[in-house]
Amino acid sequence: MTEKVSGPTGAELLHNPHINRGSAFTLDDRRRLGVEGLLPPVPDSLEIQIARVEHQLAALDSDLQKYLFLSDLQARNEVLYYAVLMSDPARFMPLVYTPTVGEACQKFDHVFRASRGMYLPITAKGRLQEILGNWPTQDVRFIVVTDGERILGLGDLGVGGMGIPVGKLALYTACAGVPPQMTMPVTLDVGTNNHALLDDPLYLGLRQERVRGAEYDAFIEEFVQAVMTRFPKCCIQWEDFANINAVPILERYRDKICTYNDDIQGTAAIALAGVFGALRITGQKLADQRFLFLGAGSAATGIAELISEAMMLEGIKPADARARNWLYDINGLVTSARADIADFQRPFAHDPLPVGSFVEAVEAIKPSAIIGVSTTPKLFNRQVIEAMSRLNERPIIFPYSNPTSRSECTAEEAYTWSDGRAVFASGSPFPPVAIKDKTFVPGQGNNVYIFPAMGMAILATQTRRVTQEMFIVAARAVADQVTTEDLGRGLIYPPTTRIFEASLLTATKIAEYVFDNGLAAVERPVNIEAHIRALAYRPAYGA
Ligand code: NAD
């Protein structure tokens, strides 16, 4: 008697990426599932399949081709896709996410093949809940959503922005084991102001200018309500919205639902992790530091606010903590005397000081750390770094502007001009630097140390809210994982080669905080780390 099989069989099975095993179906399974004859006759192992993927990747010339090949694999066989990514996350991250994903988003309409994720156009307003019902799985726990307006540093890419939620969610799985079937990439199409796209006959999005104001806000509200109704346990992560929308959306929903914005909060957390790491080298306390930011945009104010909140946890009063964070922008030092200060900068607009240049601001404020988030290269010049080195035994120098061409200084400049005393980390990667007989390994402040771990912690706790303290805990956990040996080489972040293990440990620390503070919607497990390890997705075909 033949066994009754539930779920797809035959050719349909081979087209379902969640359950397809391709050439790895055993002979028994092939007979049972009706795919005999639809595959080459001899079954493979997952290891052989991985080796074949590597072989095929090696034959491709460009990173974009590799990106597209891996996207096709994801649409065909999810286990194999994640087995490949998780075999070496540090190598595959740049292929499935930045920088390659940027080019893929720019060329989205020209390279488009299989559709992935959920598209919600503003023309469908009033029907979002119904459309979300078309998603093939019921238990969605994690959404990354963009409206495509500020994709990386590339601007408005309309629906081409979908590459970002897709790539980012792949990293939630590959770097922290968030199960892929619980994730959903979403693009809200509210139009685009990119005229090259509107004029391109291959453009796949709505051909209209971006909707703004009350109509936009109502669409976001409908989206949030529809998600909460369809997927009540879901966390919404906002991604690559323009500042004018990102900040108010976060403010509107952060105290109402489980939600966060990685550009704002993840960025701040990875910078704070760098600060905690640097303090392990200098042996000082956070409360004793003074920070001067070059740049006063969303990155600067987000980092300054999280640093201030971490100082408050060390007992510093809010006003005193913020007074230890100064901003310097295109118009000079941000002070209360300036008429052009925006609300979000106001907490860091202090009493005026007579300074006419950034180096004069360094001399007057005497910061222990300078953080570059100005998008302008070379402003941490020799004079600035020499001044920092005169004022501090171990000056903290973080040029965080991306890409490399916009970095406020190079690693070599920071180490050379400080005579090897700088504690350095950057937004973009730099190679090791040899000064005299010592080799320094520059750390890269990459949000990937934070967001996958945050996702796993949210999944494990079903936290009702995502709080600032959770990001401070995450930052501390990342910094605590840097080995003494790495600190000795100047490296203040853990290596990305260990990202999966690092993320599970960071997720455990965040989850402990969530349980300790009564934010969890599930019962506290006896062993939180074991609970997280048990939840983590591992790519395997199983029985
Ligand atoms: P933004 O455009 O909002 O702000 C830029 C700020 O720099 C503005 O305040 C502007 O006045 C100031 N500025 C520009 N030119 C200047 C000059 N010549 N002198 C002094 N100030 C100047 O940008 P943002 O979103 O805050 O991002 C800033 C940078 O931070 C970007 O390069 C981004 O790549 C980087 N960033 C890095 C990470 C990371 O490494 N994890 C994360 C987020 C942002």
Closest atom, ligand 1, to C-alpha of 263: 43
Domain with 415 in it: 265-448
What is the phi/psi pair of residue 290, to 5°? -130, 135
Closest atom, ligand 1, to C-alpha of 300: 26
Q: Are 330 and 429 found together in one domain?
A: yes
Closest atom, ligand 1, to C-alpha of 299: 26
Mean pLDDT of the chain: 95
Query: Cα–Cα distance between 409 and 442 in angstroms, integer?
Result: 12
Across 169-173, 388-392, 441-445, 471-475, least confident range: 441-445
Domain boundary among 57, 85, 113: 85
Q: Which one of the listed residues 66, 81, 168, 415 is annotated catalytic? A: 168
Ligand 1 centroid – CA 535 distance (Å): 37
Q: Are 78 and 113 found together in one domain?
A: no
300 ligand 1 Cβ < 6 A: yes
Q: Whose CA is nearest to atom 18 of ligand 1?
A: 330
Q: What is the pLDDT of residue 208?
A: 98
The CATH number that applies at residue 402 is 3.40.50.720
Q: Band of the pLDDT at 313, cuts 50, 70, 90?
A: very high
Q: Whose CA is nearest to atom 42 of ligand 1?
A: 267
Q: Is residue 4 part of a domain?
A: no
Q: Is residue 324 part of a domain?
A: yes
371 ligand 1 Cβ < 6 A: no
Ligand 1 centroid – CA 299 distance (Å): 6
Q: Whose CA is nearest to atom 14 of ligand 1?
A: 374
What confidence tens digit (pLDDT) does each residue in 64-111 have?
Answer: 999 999 999 999 999 999 999 999 999 999 999 988 999 999 999 999
Q: Which one of the listed residues 81, 82, 97, 216 is annotated catalytic? A: 97
Across 1-10, 92-101, 155-164, 524-533, least confident range: 1-10
Annotated active-site residue 97? The verdict is yes
What confidence tens digit (pLDDT) does each residue in 511-522 have?
Answer: 999 999 999 999
Q: What is the pLDDT of residue 380?
A: 98
Give the max Cα distance, the chain.
90
Domain boundary among 62, 85, 108: 85
DSSP-derived letter for residue 209 is: P
Beta bridge partners of 261: 238
Q: Is residue 191 part of a domain?
A: yes
Which amino acid is residue 58, in one-letter code? A
Q: Is residue 457 part of a domain?
A: no
Q: Are 326 and 433 found together in one domain?
A: yes
Q: What is the dihedral of CA 228, 234, 237, 242, to 10 degrees?
A: -20
Give the DSSP letter string of 78-100: HHHHHHHHHHSHHHHHHHHSTTH
Q: Is residue 46 part of a domain?
A: yes
Give how many domains the chain has, as a whole number.
Answer: 3
Query: Cα–Cα distance between 331 and 328 in angstroms, integer?
Result: 8
Q: What is the pLDDT of residue 3?
A: 63
Which amino acid is residue 50, in one-letter code? I
The two structure tokens encoding residue 21: 């095993």
Choosing from 292, 328, 402 the residue with most ligand 1 atoms within 8 A of its CB, the one to mutate for a pocket test is: 402
The two structure tokens encoding residue 265: 């909060």
Q: What is the pLDDT of residue 191?
A: 98
3-state DSSP of 312-376:
HHCCCCHHHHHHCEEEEECCEECECCCCCCCHHHHHHCECCCCCCCHHHHHHHHCCCEEEECCCC
Q: What is the pLDDT of residue 1?
A: 43
Rounded average pLDDT over 245-265: 95
Annotated active-site residue 168? The verdict is yes
What confidence tens digit (pLDDT) does each residue in 452-486 have?
Answer: 999 999 999 999 999 999 999 999 999 999 999 99
Q: Are 215 and 66 found together in one domain?
A: no
pLDDT at position 50 over 80 = yes
3-state helix, strand, coil in the chain (%, to 5): 50, 10, 40
Q: Are 423 and 370 found together in one domain?
A: yes
What confidence tens digit (pLDDT) does each residue in 368-415 have?
Answer: 999 999 989 999 999 999 999 999 999 999 999 987 888 999 999 999
Closest atom, ligand 1, to C-alpha of 401: 32
Domain boundary among 205, 237, 257: 257
Which amino acid is residue 166, in one-letter code? V
Rounded average pLDDT over 424-449: 92
Pick the residue with more confidence: 386 or 243?
386
333 ligand 1 Cβ < 6 A: no
237 ligand 1 Cβ < 6 A: no
381 ligand 1 Cβ < 6 A: no
